[in-house]
Structure 1
Amino acid sequence: MILTNPISSSEVGTLWLTYQEKTMIMRILEYFIEKSEDEQGRNILGGLWQELNFYVLEMEKLFQDQGMSKPIGFLKEDVNIEAPKLFDNGFDIMFLRLLKEVSMGMYTINMNMSYNAKVMQIYEGLTLVTQKIYKLATLYLLERGILTLPPKVTMPKKNEFIESKSYMSGFNPFGDKRALNDIEIGILHHTVEVNNIGLQLITGFAQCAQNKEVKQYFLKGMELAKKQIKVAEEILLESGVQFSATSGGTVTTSTVAPFTDKLMMHCIYLLNGFGLVANGFGTFFSMRNDISVKNTLIAKDVYFYGQEGINIKIKNGWFEEPPQMEDRSKIIKKGHE
């Protein structure tokens, strides 16, 4: 079969990553749907499952048309919907909202690496689905008082320009640090919000992980999330910014795993990548150098934590190898044997 419109290497790579992520999210949704006791929340979860199932099938058809073996991803065996409820009080929708934050960023990158009309159509459709679900989840959480708004500030009445390089200073313990600007407040609030969710998630994972090394890895992740929350909260408090952490979402006392260690490790792997990207954004757009340096140090911790997780995945045979180019040197060498 001669393909009239073959997909490029970048599209093979992004579709492979997307398929991994979508099949993982579908398994998580299946568990959350089974345990949901709120009709509106269950409708949001179920609606997303239906949408993702459509695009997973679209990707599988595209893989077949291109003569490409489809990734294994995550299967029914990776979820136990009979496991007791591990998370409560709206955590399912809170975590769903976080996953949609990750997806929005990934689709932007993936679209920028797409040249095939069918591939672009898939990412365009997934982007629309993600934005719709993110909005529904946010409104759902706000209506129930589960999600807190960022701090309120005084509205600016005039335009001003930065007049001194001292605007960026913050290291001098004896000097006055300028007040946080609204961009920095937003970044710090987001750091507290996502790490609170991540802390609850990884606490639940640590309770039910089967592999001892995986359990220790999740315990280390809990401490890393606490560290990021503490750093962000201290900076906000130093500037007299009143804030309140996300109040909703709790971890139950269940120790029965709803997901395989393989799925939970991949979930944390994905969130580590998102954390590094978000940290880079915060480092660049925070114009007080003490904040930027603290973000950089945290990024180092997140990076090495992520590398440790990759090694555990490889060690246990949980890291499916991405498609790759032919090794020409080996082919040439083999031809001379």
Structure 2
Amino acid sequence: MELENKATLILLDKGLATRPPFNPYPDKVEFIQKQSFFLESLGRRGALSGTEVTHLHFNIETNQLGAALSTGFIQTAQNKQARNYFIRGKEIALKHTKVFRDYLEKHSLPAPGGIEPEVTESTVPVFSDKLMMFHFSVMIYAGIGNYGVAISESQRSDLVIDYSRLNAEILKYSEDGINILVANEWLEQPPLSIDRQNFSKN
């Protein structure tokens, strides 16, 4: 938390901090009158809810982080399979960023800027391909979880459809990553519970 606060103060001091989108504070309580609130094709409300904006902004930031990480990994990966995997991951992250950015821009809301220009030109390997693939896998599974939460908290069908569609793409991509890890013997088996059924058979 201390490091986060220091980083934020530096960004503010340099004029680099951008304010995330926000909704005006409501002056009265309103209740949903029609089911069209959830279905945009039936004359749904023209605005995004605060929760929807929060998830769109957060998922743009995480995908931009993924694109930047991919750039660094592409420059330093020694294994061709891993490098191609990172290239594909960057393409997916940029595609997903555009989908989410379009929602915010359509509603005249600001989207966070990318951090990819901050990646240096270095091509000297800092991490092993095994470690980079592991970190990438963890990031992918975190993204799948983020999309799942966004689906559960979004109240418009078009957002739910897009999150579900993009989540399916990430799941397929993560499976391909597992295959690379297994093929290179980089995937360690986690500790398992005692196999009681095997005892009973023997």
TM-score by length of 2: 0.89
2:40–2:158 contact (8 Å) kept in structure 1: yes
Question: Does the alignment pair 1:153 with 2:30?
Answer: no
1:320 to 175, 178, 188: 188
1:272 is aligned to: 140
2:67–2:90 contact (8 Å) kept in structure 1: yes
1:273 aligned counterpart, secondary structure: helix
Alpha-carbon distance, 1:136 to partner: 4.4
Question: Aligned runs of 1:246-257 on 2, under 5 Å?
Answer: 246=114, 250-257=118-125
Relative to structure 1, is the Cα distance of residues 248 and 224 closer, same or farther in structure 2, using a 3 angstrom cutoff? closer
CA distance in 2, matches of 1:254, 1:263: 18
The structure whose Rg is larger is 1
CA distance in 1, matches of 2:143, 2:115: 21
1:212 is aligned to: 80
1:235 to 92, 103, 107: 103
Alpha-carbon distance, 1:152 to partner: 3.5
Alpha-carbon distance, 1:325 to partner: 2.2
2:113 is aligned to: 245
Relative to structure 1, is the Cα distance of residues 312 and 142 closer, same or farther in structure 2, using a 3 angstrom cutoff? farther
CA distance in 2, matches of 1:229, 1:198: 10
CA distance in 2, matches of 1:262, 1:234: 35
Question: Aligned runs of 1:1-337 on 2, under 5 Å?
Answer: 131-171=1-41, 175=43, 178-246=46-114, 250-333=118-201, 335=202
2:48–2:107 contact (8 Å) kept in structure 1: yes
Output the amino acid matched with 2:187.
F
Alpha-carbon distance, 1:199 to partner: 0.6
2:68–2:116 contact (8 Å) kept in structure 1: no
Q: State the Cα RMSD in Å.
A: 2.2
Relative to structure 1, is the Cα distance of residues 248 and 300 closer, same or farther in structure 2, using a 3 angstrom cutoff? closer
2:63–2:97 contact (8 Å) kept in structure 1: yes
Relative to structure 1, is the Cα distance of residues 309 and 248 closer, same or farther in structure 2, using a 3 angstrom cutoff? closer
Alpha-carbon distance, 1:132 to partner: 4.7
CA distance in 2, matches of 1:248, 1:201: 8
1:100 is aligned to: none
1:102 is aligned to: none
CA deviations 1:79-115 (Å, max 9, x no partner) are xxxxxxxxxxxxxxxxxxxxxxxxxxxxxxxxxxxxx
Relative to structure 1, is the Cα distance of residues 331 and 153 closer, same or farther in structure 2, using a 3 angstrom cutoff? closer
- Percent identity of paired positions between Structure 1 and Structure 2: 35
2:38–2:44 contact (8 Å) kept in structure 1: no
CA distance in 2, matches of 1:254, 1:321: 33
Alpha-carbon distance, 1:283 to partner: 1.0
Alpha-carbon distance, 1:269 to partner: 0.7
Alpha-carbon distance, 1:332 to partner: 4.7
1:195–1:228 contact (8 Å) kept in structure 2: yes
Alpha-carbon distance, 1:244 to partner: 4.1
CA distance in 2, matches of 1:151, 1:243: 7
Structure 2 unaligned blocks of 5 or more: none
CA distance in 1, matches of 2:44, 2:158: 12
How many residues are treated as equivalent by the alignment?
A: 202
Structure 1 unaligned blocks of 5 or more: 1-130
Alpha-carbon distance, 1:241 to partner: 1.8
Output the amino acid matched with 1:149.
R
